[in-house]
Structure 1
Amino acid sequence: MQVAKRSGDLIDQKRRARTAANALRMQAHKTLGERSGLMLAQHELPINRKDGFGSVSGFYPYQAEINVLPLLARLVSEGWLTALPVVMAKGEPLTFRAWAPGEPTGRGIWDIHVPLETAPELQPDVLLVPMLAFDRRGYRLGYGGGFYDRTLAELRKLKPVVAIGVAYAEQEMDEVPIASYDEPLDWILTERGVIEPKR
């Protein structure tokens, strides 16, 4: 695993990678549109529910993110408890509140849909993680806020959790620039199917 050693180099590498990844995602979103969410929902999560996993956090699609709402709706029909993340403050881990497709939402930071404040908080067993890019090692390129890295680091101290990066297949890169604090994904899910990382 190659980790960028100088912070200035890493910042520049990630900035350039984000620019390229955003263009790829926009193109994929334009090409596939809402079909991608339905395609995504046809794939099974690589999770054995007999291991005690019963709750999953998704995300409300923002800008050109792939739409996981059809997948969440299917998971609810299968008995999963579903939730959405909420940004509480800069530099803090995410909070998760119970929510299912069709239930009302409010607006959070960056005008992203979030569950109402009255929705109960939970600690998900499975996290569907949005991203700008991914590689076959299981590393993701996020938006730069570090919210999911902090959240995964905290949750993994408390209990077994499974992080599944979700994106368009076209968002794959040969190698995502990473730092020592970047939390790896356990699986990747695209509209084409599940990818098991090779590290």
Structure 2
Amino acid sequence: MQPPRFAPALPLVAACLTLIALQPAAALAKGNEIERGRHLAGIMGCADCHTPMKMGAKGPEPDLARGLSGHPQDQALPPPPAPSGPWIWGGSASMTAFYGPWGISYSANLTPDKDTGIGNWTLAQFSQAMKTGKHLGNGRPILPPMPWQAVSRLDDHDLKALFRFLMAQPAVKNTVPEFKPAPSRG
């Protein structure tokens, strides 16, 4: 049995398809920093915790008017439930406040608002914060559930792209509540 006539072209077709599949990633890596940052923020799920949820016609949906603005300042929360059995942490319905053995943490405002967001941060401060897990690169620990350990693996080019994307977003004035440490046991 003879191979099909198109068999010699298969390696060429495979190579072309591979180049087409890799082109967007390569273009994002070498092209527009803001688009690369948008891509990274999307695959890392930044908006999952830093954009509040609101109730929509089909259930909870991201409140895009407050995109990446963190826990809503107008959303006061009652004390969290006590840990019970194997359940030791949880989150609010807005997906922007979390409690656990560390206390209560609130998703930060990642918009470029100069008073309530990261508008006064430098790239160096942002990169240092993401690499060390310290607020502003030298402050209090960045708290769960922020996966700074995973973000710390980004190279300098990707951290710069992520920062440029965040700084290109609309500024949203939203003062996020301060972290509340867990009551001391003793």
Superposition TM-score, scaled by structure 1 size: 0.23
Superposition TM-score, scaled by structure 2 size: 0.24
Higher helix proportion: 2
Greater Rg by CA: 2
